[in-house]
Structure 1
């Protein structure tokens, strides 16, 4: 058997060596301009021989653009690691000379009830490898760009005359670079298809994600990452008719193209969108048939969550198309479909890229008319909402309000200042802390997608989350049934609130904890060696009621003079966009400033566990919120070394979802017993329970399949998954975990089935799901029953230390601003819990 495998391998390697030149990939019924450099001439190897590194990919695209009058290249920004975010515009030289007029005419067709699309070019956005370790896309991008620049056939010239191609060769430069390093450094001279080889098992966290380990294909709607920001700007600048998103999937799969499962399409997506997607799919099928590649469609994947690249265009008048190629994950690997080589995967991606362009050219008028009608129909829907608006805000937190407005701005959604303070449905909206969105506007369907709450669904299975209601994610009050008469001026230049200190004091300063960036301010204060305390009760002074969690900074006995302290706090207030109040007396209505109800705070010294066994998404979200949002230092401790790491320099350690080996577990247990605070999330609760940190009482859901056939068993099990929904919990605002929240209800994001029983003492349940907690999204009745009145948070003593547990992710995908403060409260006020 081993001999046979070796023979097959040698034959395959020989075949690969013969087929990795351009003739393996490119159509041979055309000539190619010799003045256009081939990929090999620039990168130093044949496409598919090695994994392209991002720097070489950039070099090739830049040289290609200089060599061809069909290509214009721009650098739109940079990643967290400083890599350029390129966009190539590829079309005929004649179109380039009139490109701005073409663009404005294209956009104008989406803004007028009558438009002649007969002679308009179609706009196609082609993007590759948003998951960095799904690298066949970006490697194929070199071939596609070369073909479009160099091919001399009449078909290609006609294509370029009638198409504007927005070409994004690497959606995820940081991840692509990370994966190329791994695959190339583990490549053998004699390629080995054994799936057990190290080449096919990346080191944690892998190349899928960007610098902070985010899945960037979930950020098209939230737009929180630098890569997404420039991409969405390009998208709205052009409103492409087709957008393609080239991915990879498991090695034993073939090739997938959309449409996905019909029953899992979002109801706001027009049916014609899916019909056109299917018609485009016929071109993919024909092209793949020609080269003998297997494929499938209308299975596995869906078009529900609008935050994915293949679905985001569907709510913006375009057609999104997902490609999934069975991955070699390196250079060559065994599969149930035979030996799969890296060049083979690249050729399939290349083929699908060209079939997309052929479909776009041939279906140009139908697809342009579809986009025109999409916005025409949207305007009709919006006109019925004339005079109606949505209001959102937080009267005590301008920053959260600003950041949601920032998302709207990125999506070219119109909104206005609030004319004057306004109250509705028991909620107070304050001018300067609230915005008004008229419903009668161009992007009304996108607004509906962002603000809707949905709890009924055609299907019970979801490829991604089933809910993402933005005001709930940002923890904001909102109402969707107000009049536009409350709207003030339209916001053109969005500015965050300016922070300040009311005046200089020789006694003390007070800082409320409501503002989003209050943790950033407190971290700076404690990090400078200043003393600060937190108020455990409400009080009133100078005519103002200060809420639970107010921070007190005394003037006396500090390491700064009163003058220097004032100057320092002015900078802190400005940097953190909040108000700090000077007071001249410690006498208040309620607890006085010298009361023991003001608890002294110590500077957090925080570490987070990362590495094998830990869910990288969760860890990256926490790292990001510390590093990018709050400017707080956090040490990443790898599970490989944790068993022998001296943990005494930390007072707080965070365990994201996951588990560790016995040696690491024992070290963490000893550290916690000796006074540390351990904060654990999601599946780490099971690890805590198994290793006797504490005994958690879990509520178990009993599932019994009745009248379920063998064929339906997978769907039955899948329907019990909480893929991502939003639930309501009650808050005891006097408990430190809830400091800074003004309401007694909070929206929590949940995508797991870990249910904790409440404590018998009600004061030990400061966060508790309501009896009917579902706000938006899908959950099975069995799981909803288990979730009802369960608790998402517990704080327990563990000898001299403390263990704080969260069942839910408080930092989800960087846009769940509304619950970030729960983690910050657990860190800063850990000693009071």
Structure 2
């Protein structure tokens, strides 16, 4: 009621309010920095100041989170610029070739400030209120100069669901006077924490892959504006000071000289503020510009100046925290002051070089379109049928790439991107062509790069990401320029045949196929599959092909249900008139088995990796839309085993989760027909346990020179036993159902070595031999552990099964064939 009265009084006094922008303190009713503002208050504040400054601010709602919260972006500039905002946007896109025609006027620099991509790095959203106020404060001469010379975009909170999860928790447990004691409850954020979005994905790793709703909606708007500068505001450990550019090595080799130079300039402007106030900071450490899926690197690959700012604090910091490392008390107010200072420094740096910022951005895109660098001038994707490239085509559209089909059959010399083999390639008329002669070709080249050059081994995240690996594509780089002739249609429209078929056959090779199967099973349709290849009507069908027979589906409107679901999921159906095959098992053979609609349970809670669980949750709810029951790991002992078919153990530390007694209960349930899918460190709980066939490899003895390793080289010593994310080709037993639909080559992103021995009893479905490494950084010690080791295994115990996944096929929802493999694990 108090807030309603406050708002009504504001409306009544509106004619007077427009004369002066309301401060955050006045609006919130408490001093900014003395408490965390809830997300709805932040958005209400932005709406309020927009009403007070309609000529200088435009507020756009560009999307909605999974939990229904608004995603908002404020456009702030001079009244003259706001009045012609759409004209500025169109002229800008014309100047870089993303819209046809030539601009009729120059444009000012466009600067995008993004706050709070990680929800519990909550200083950022609170800082955004101070930033928007000062930009609109007519008494601030510096910011008014910004508005005359730039268009500034302010996103107050990229991750509202995570931010609200954190602030709701903190505001419930905080003391009336913040407790600065590091071990106080208000500094111990509970599982899963506020860092991630609703599905517990790290949105700062999602820029390139765009698997999450928030990312897709934000980048759709980003591509309409293509800012010259993007700043991403973060927090790190509370023991640390403040990080701003220059960035650390390694830089991606495609970061231009101008971008490197401006990275240095931004640091100069930041130092001015921090030195003046005697604030601690560091540069050139930890935060590199290599992996192209961050809020600094993806914009950089799009031609912008992309930077990251990191304030010491994060979820542990709360409102105030005593720090022995700095001999001070870290407060929310001080954290806001630091982020506000770098926000101003960003804008000052851009304004100091405003003409060159625009000119270099235009040059970046014109060079990309007219004289692209790199060996390959065209990328060829073998489609093998429209249904196989749909997910990739959708991804291309989200990135803003131009592409099309070859239009005619021909041949060319090309390099196969996963093997680096040069060969003559047959090009079919419906194969995809992506020309390097387009404004976004720098991003295209970086993302296709199968072996990105790494100038420094100490890096922050994934070091290999080639699109051919990620999407399981047969892809080639061509040195000659080939122009696509048409936009491919990925629509597949199946209608009921005139003569009602004996059965429908459906391919099994993509995440769309998994979604199709999940929907069929959920709707009670009987679906079978062949565990061996077969041939009929002179057509070969691989093992794993879905067989949907009329027999057994008499209780449903068979043709209508099956064809409508196939259309929905863009699955091509092949109607057949008989259950007799020319080679392989007939449809009534024991090798053609029915697939069950399983009751699936996944563990969550303390001890479980939040992101690993989140990837599973997202897979079921958003990718294949099949029900999954989430159970608190602490309640595992109370699970009604007779109601569960599949139990998923995500990556985690299971020492306090699975007792010996619970392990016996799990094994008894498996013997009765249950299935366990144990992933990554969850497999530790099963190693060398009676009845489970998983064992650890014999490790080499410590090398003598390890005894005399140098203290000053400890960071590199740690790197030698790590793989932040490297690409491996997994050797697969393609006759096993876990491998069905995974293609001739299955690639995975390896981030750890589990040193599992091959199964003596069971099936070694996927494993690494001596030469399975493909790309990315792997430390010298780690490399040895990733040889002759099990990655994917299956063991029958009684009537049930245990599946061991030492590498996560659902990692960040990136790997297309990983989604197929996980579908096999669940349904087959």
Matched, 1:149 2:136: yes
TM-score with structure 1 setting the length: 0.89
Q: Partner of 1:793: helix, strand, or coil?
A: strand
Q: How does 1:576-595 map to 2 (within 5 A)?
A: 576-590=569-583, 591-595=585-589
Divergent runs of 4+, >6 A: 114-119, 383-386, 426-429
| Residue 694 of structure 1: how far off its partner (Å) | 4.0
Residues 315 and 526 from structure 1, CA distance in 2 versus in 1: closer, same or farther, beyond 3 angstroms?
closer
Measure how far apart 1:438 and its partner are. 1.0
Q: 1:163 to 1:703 in 2, by over 3 A?
A: farther
For residues 309-328 of structure 1, what are the structure 2 equivalents within 5 Å?
A: 309-327=295-313
> CA distance change for structure 1 residues 821 and 719 in 2, over 3 Å: closer, same or farther?
same
Q: 1:689 aligns with which of 681, 687, 690?
A: 687
Aligned to 2:10: none
In the alignment, what sits opposite 2:3?
A: none
**1:690 positional shift:** 6.3
CA contact (8 A) 2:379 2:436 kept: yes
1:214 positional shift: 0.3
- Following superposition of structure 1 onto structure 2, how do residues 125-524 of structure 1 map, counting pairs within 5 Å? 125-261=112-248, 263-327=249-313, 329-335=317-323, 336-337=325-326, 338-379=328-369, 381-382=371-372, 388-396=377-385, 398-399=386-387, 401-420=389-408, 432=430, 434-454=431-451, 456-481=453-478, 485=482, 487-490=484-487, 495-498=490-493, 502=497, 505=500, 507-524=502-519
Query: Partner residue of 1:539?
Result: 534
TM-superposition CA deviations, 1:698-730 (whole Å, max 9, x none) = 363666446842201221212321101111123
After TM superposition, give the deviation of residue 653 of structure 1 in Å: 0.8
**How has the CA–CA distance of structure 1 residues 44 and 533 changed in structure 2, closer, same or farther, with 3 Å as cutoff?**
same
Q: How many Å separate the matches in 2 of 1:663 and 1:252? A: 31
* 1:547-578 deviation per Cα after TM superposition (whole angstroms, max 9, x unaligned): 101222332343515xx111111222122211
Taking the aligned partners of 1:400 and 1:223, their CA distance within structure 2 comes to 19
**Which residue in the other structure is 1:5 paired with?**
none
Distance 1:501 1:447, change over 3 A: farther
SS at match of 1:324: strand
Give the Cα–Cα distance (whole angstroms) in 2 for the partners of residues 702 and 404 of structure 1.
Answer: 45
Does 1:647 pair with 2:641? yes
Of 632, 651, 656, the match for 2:650: 656
Quote the offset at 1:157 in angstroms.
2.1
Measure the CA separation in 1 of the matches of 2:806 and 2:411: 34
Matched, 1:46 2:34: no
SS of the residue corresponding to residue 523 of structure 1 reads helix
Aligned-pair CA distance for 1:380: 5.4
Aligned partners of 1:673 and 1:798 also within 8 Å:
no
* Equivalence for 1:18: none
CA distance in 1: counterparts of 2:380 and 2:464, whole angstroms:
20
Q: Aligned pair in 2 of structure 1 residues 609, 429: CA closer, same or farther (>3 Å)?
A: farther
Q: Does 1:750 align with 2:750?
A: yes
* 1:663 Cα offset (Å): 6.0
Contact 2:809 2:822 in 1 (8 A): yes
Kindly indicate whether the alpha-carbon contact (under 8 Å) linking 1:75 and 1:86 is maintained by their aligned counterparts in 2: yes
Q: What whole-Å deviation, never above 9, does each CA across 1:161-210 have from its counterpart, x for those lacking one?
A: 10110111101111111111011111111221111122111121110000
Cα distance in 1 for partners of 2:527, 2:821 equals: 20
Q: How many residues align?
A: 787
Query: After superposition, where does 1:785-824 map in structure 2 within 5 Å?
Result: 785-824=784-823
SS of alignment partner, residue 233 of structure 1: helix
Tell me if the contact between 1:515 and 1:578 (Cα under 8 Å) persists in the aligned partners. Answer: no
- Checking the alignment, whether the CA contact within 8 Å between 2:182 and 2:321 is kept in structure 1 is yes
Contact 1:526 1:602 in 2 (8 A): yes
Identify if the C-alpha distance between structure 1 residues 106 and 217 changes in structure 2 by more than 3 Å, giving closer, same or farther.
same
Mapped partners of 2:443, 2:721: distance in 1: 29
Q: Which runs of 5+ in 1 are unaligned?
A: 1-31
Single out whichever of 241-250 and 643-652 deviates more from structure 2: 643-652
Deviations 1:365-400 (A, max 9, x none): 3323332333344345428879x411124415x455
Counterparts in 2 of 1:106 and 1:545: CA distance versus 1, 3 Å: same
Relative distance call for 1:691 and 1:149 in structure 2 (3 A) is farther
Gap change, CA 1:808 and 1:334, over 3 Å in 2: same
Match of 2:669 among 671, 674, 695: 674
**Equivalent residues of 2:115, 2:156 under 8 A apart:** yes
Among 566, 581, 594, the alignment partner of 1:600 is 594
Alpha-carbon distance, 1:739 to partner: 1.1
Residue deviations 1:750-808 (CA, integer Å, cap 9, x gap): 111223333469x9333233532222211134433432343311111334432111111
1:738 matched to 2:739? The reply is: yes
Secondary structure at 2:254's aligned position in 1?
A: coil
How far residue 155 of structure 1 moved from its aligned partner, in angstroms, is 2.7
Q: TM-score, normalised by structure 2?
A: 0.90
CA–CA distance in 2 between the matches of 1:332 and 1:787?
A: 44
Q: 1:89 aligns with which of 45, 63, 75?
A: 75
Corresponding residue for residue 725 of structure 1:
726
Distance change in 2, residues 1:703/1:63 (3 Å): farther
Gaps of 5+ in 2: 1-16, 413-422
- CA change 1:47–1:486 in 2 (3 A) is closer
- The CA distance in 2 between the partners of 1:172 and 1:329, in whole Å, is 19
Matched with 1:24 is none
Encode CA deviations 1:351-378: one digit per residue, 9 max, x unaligned.
1111211221122233233323333443
Alignment correspondent of 1:22: none
Post-superposition Cα deviations, 1:86-122, rounded to whole Å, max 9, x if no partner, equal: 011000001112222323333344349x999997422
Equivalent position of 2:420 in the other structure: none
Matches of 1:240 and 1:503, distance apart in 2: 54
RMSD, aligned CA: 2.7
Write the distance in 2 (CA, Å) between the matches of 1:461 and 1:301: 10
How big is the shift at 1:539?
1.4
Is structure 2 residue 614 aligned with structure 1 residue 620? Answer: yes
Check the 8 A contact 1:726/1:750 in 2, yes or no.
yes
Counterparts of 1:543 and 1:42, CA distance in 2:
74
Q: What corresponds to 2:715 in structure 1? A: 714
Q: Which residue number corresponds to residue 14 of structure 2?
A: none
Q: Mean Cα displacement is larger for which, 49-58 or 415-424? A: 415-424
* Of 632, 643, 666, the match for 1:638: 632
Q: Please state how far the C-alpha of 1:147 moved relative to its aligned partner.
A: 0.9
Deviation at 1:815, TM superposition (A): 2.3
